[in-house]
Amino acid sequence: MDTCKVIEVVETSLTRRGKGEEEDPVRIITQYWSKDGTLLAEVDCAEKDVLQFKMTRLLDNLRSHVEQWSKVKNKEVVDVANNIVDVIDTCKDTVQSEDFFDLKTWRR
């Protein structure tokens, strides 16, 4: 960090963002503005929840497609499909965990 200084900001809270759906819930948005009206930062409390929902849905869809492979009569394809399903389930557990967005989790 080269410099650090304390400045005055205006904090606002809005509750009108979101469609009220599972994928896009109505939520509180906190914004920070300079005294001259410039938006400095925005905090969307549901961004990680929406991302987790979308990733979980994507993994569920992928899992259902891979499960279709396991219905063929080729043992090698079935074995690969089962291994992929195991990986998908592990990914889904990770996405749904509380520490998914903790950067320390990804530094291991």
pLDDT by position in tens, the chain (length 108):
788 888 888 999 876 788 888 777 788 888 889 999 998 888 876 666 667 777 778 788 888 877 777 777 777 777 777 788 888 787 777 766 766 655 454 444
Contact 69, 78 (CB under 8 A): yes
Are 52 and 94 part of one and the same domain? Answer: yes
Q: pTM value?
A: 0.46
Same domain, 38 and 58: no
How many CB atoms lie under 10 A from the CB of residue 107?
6
Q: 91 and 52: one domain?
A: yes
Residue 28 and residue 53 share a domain: no
Segments forming the whole domain that contains residue 77: 48-100
Does any domain span residue 108? no
Query: So what's the pLDDT on residue 37?
Result: 92
Q: How many domains does the chain have?
A: 2
Q: Look at residues 95, 100, 25 and name the one whose alpha carbon lies nearest to residue 60.
A: 95
Residue 106 belongs to a domain: no
Contact yes or no for 69/81 (Cβ under 8 A): yes
Regarding whether 71 and 31 lie in a shared domain, the answer is no
User: Is residue 86 domain-shared with residue 71, that is, in the same domain?
Assistant: yes
Instruction: Give the length of the chain.
Output: 108
